[in-house]
C-alpha cells in the first residue's frame, strides 16, 4: 500500500520541480542552475514551432503535475496530459481550474516550507486524464505532437509504449522525447531496459522505421529533495519527425 506521507512528499517535490521559483528549487548560488525550468525547456527547446499549424493537438504522456502540458497549451490548440498517478492528475486539474495551488515542500526532517504553484496557461485547451503509457486506449487517436519527458525509464515495459508511437504521431508530426536512461529494477525489470549501455543507439534502431531524428540536445535538470539534497541529471532530448 502507498504511504500517504511519501505520496504527499513526492507531490510537493513535483509541484516544486514544475512550478517552484528558481531560488526555492536551487537555493545555492554555486548549484547547477542549468537544470532549472526543465518542464518549460523540454517544450521550448525541442518543439519546432514552425512545423505546427494553428489547430495542432498535442499529447503529453507522463505529464506528472502538468508543467509541460501548460507550456504546450501556448502553442497547440488542444493538449491532452496523461499520467499514471491520480494525485498528480488531480493537482494538474486543480491548477487548471484555480490557476494557483498552495503546496508544501521539504526543508529538512519534518520541516516543510510553503509554496504557491501558479500557471501561465496558453490560449489552447488542456485536459488531464489518468492513464497508462503501456496500455493506452485504442481510440486515443493521433496527434501533431507527442511529448514524453523522463518517462521511458519509469515504465515497466518501455517497448509497449514505443510500439504505439507510430500510431500516436500523425505523419509529418513531431515526437519529443527526453530521457536520462536511468534504468532501475524498481521501475523496469532489467530484461526490458533498452540496450545494454547503448540505449541511445537502441532508441534510434527502434524508431527509425517510422521516424527521422531532427534534433538532439542534452537537457540538464535538477530536482530538489530537501534544502541540502538534489538530484542532478542530464536527459537526452530528441525531436523525431514521423515520416512513414
Ligand atoms: C520522472 S517523472 C517525469 C514527469 C514529467 N514528464 C517531467 O518531465 O517532470 C515520470 C512520470 O511518469 C509517470 N508514469 C510512470 N509510469 C507511467 C505509466 N505507465 N503511464 C503513464 N505515466 C506514468 C509518473 O507518474 C511520473 O509523473
- Range(s) of the domain holding residue 229: 4-242
- pLDDT of 120 reads 85
Residue range 13-42, pLDDT digits in tens: 999 999 999 999 999 999 999 999 999 999
Burial 159-170 (b: 16+ CB within 10 A, else e): eebbebbbebbb
Counting atoms of ligand 1 from 1, which one is nearest the CA of 147?
Answer: 6
> For 202-219, what is each residue's pLDDT tens digit?
999 999 999 999 999 999
Ligand 1 center to 155 CA (angstroms): 8
Cell numbers standing for residue 230: 538534489
Q: Return the pLDDT at 4.
A: 57
| Confidence band for 5, pLDDT divided at 50, 70 and 90 | low
H or E stretch at 5 = helix 4-19
Q: Which residues line ligand 1 (CB under 6 A)?
A: 17, 39, 62-64, 83-85, 88, 132-134, 149-151, 154-155
Q: Per-residue confidence at 201, pLDDT binned at 50, 70, 90?
A: very high
* Structural contact between residues 96 and 79, judged by C-beta atoms closer than 8 angstroms: no
Q: How confident is the model at residue 2 (pLDDT cuts 50, 70, 90)?
A: low
How many independent structural domains does the chain possess?
Answer: 1
Q: How far apart are CA 101 and CA 136, in angstroms?
A: 29
**Cα of 32 to ligand 1 centre, how many Å?**
23
- Please say whether the beta carbons of 208 and 192 come within 8 A: no
What would the pLDDT profile of 65-124 be if each residue is shown by its tens digit?
Answer: 999 999 999 999 999 999 999 999 999 999 999 999 999 999 999 999 999 999 988 899
Residue to mutate (ligand 1; options 12, 38, 39, 83; most atoms within 8 A of CB): 83
Looking at residue 196, what is its pLDDT?
A: 81
Q: How far apart, in whole angstroms, are the C-alpha atoms of residue 149 and residue 61?
A: 8
Burial of residue 152 (CB within 10 Å: 0-12, 13-18, 19+) is buried
CATH of the domain at 18: 3.40.50.150
Find, among 241, 242, 76, 61, the residue nearest to 137 by Cα. 61
DSSP 24-68: HH---TTS-GGGTTHHHHHHHHH--GGG--TT-EEEEET-TTSHH
CA of 226 relative to ligand 1 center, distance in Å: 21
How close is the Cα of 215 to the center of ligand 1, in Å?
23
> Each residue of 124-162: pLDDT tens digit?
999 999 999 999 999 999 999 999 999 999 999 999 999
Q: What pLDDT was estimated at residue 3? A: 58
Q: In this structure, which residue's CA is closest to atom 10 in ligand 1?
A: 151
Mean pLDDT of 161-180: 98
Amino acid at each position: 500500500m502507498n504511504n500517504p506521507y511519501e505520496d504527499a512528499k513526492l507531490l510537493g517535490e513535483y509541484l516544486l520541480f514544475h512550478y517552484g521559483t528558481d531560488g526555492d528549487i536551487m537555493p545555492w548560488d554555486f548549484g547547477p542552475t542549468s537544470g532549472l525550468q526543465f518542464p518549460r525547456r523540454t517544450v521550448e527547446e525541442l518543439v519546432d514551432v514552425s512545423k505546427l499549424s494553428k489547430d495542432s493537438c498535442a499529447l503529453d504522456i507522463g505529464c506528472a503535475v502538468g508543467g509541460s502540458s501548460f507550456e504546450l497549451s501556448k502553442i497547440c490548440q488542444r493538449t491532452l496530459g496523461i499520467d499514471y498517478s491520480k494525485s498528480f492528475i488531480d493537482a494538474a486539474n486543480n491548477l487548471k481550474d484555480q490557476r494557483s495551488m498552495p503546496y508544501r515542500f521539504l526543508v529538512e526532517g519534518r520541516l516543510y516550507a510553503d509554496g504557491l504553484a501558479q500557471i501561465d496557461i496558453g490560449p489552447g485547451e488542456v485536459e488531464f486524464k489518468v492513464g497508462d503509457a503501456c496500455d493506452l486506449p485504442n481510440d486515443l487517436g493521433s496527434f501533431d505532437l507527442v511529448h514524453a519527458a523522463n518517462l521511458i525509464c519509469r515504465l515497466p515495459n518501455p517497448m509497449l509504449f514505443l510500439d504505439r508511437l507510430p500510431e500516436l504521431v500523425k505523419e509529418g508530426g513531431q515526437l519529443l522525447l527526453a530521457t536520462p536512461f536511468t534504468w532501475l529494477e524498481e521501475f523496469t525489470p532489467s530484461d526490458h531496459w533498452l540496450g545494454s549501455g547503448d540505449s541511445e543507439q537502441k532508441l534510434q534502431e527502434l524508431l527509425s522505421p517510422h521516424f527521422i531524428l531532427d534534433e538532439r540536445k542534452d537537457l540538464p535538470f535538477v530536482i530538489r529533495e530537501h534544502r541540502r539534497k538534489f538530484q542532478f541529471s542530464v536527459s537526452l532530448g530528441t525531436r523525431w519527425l514521423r515520416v512513414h
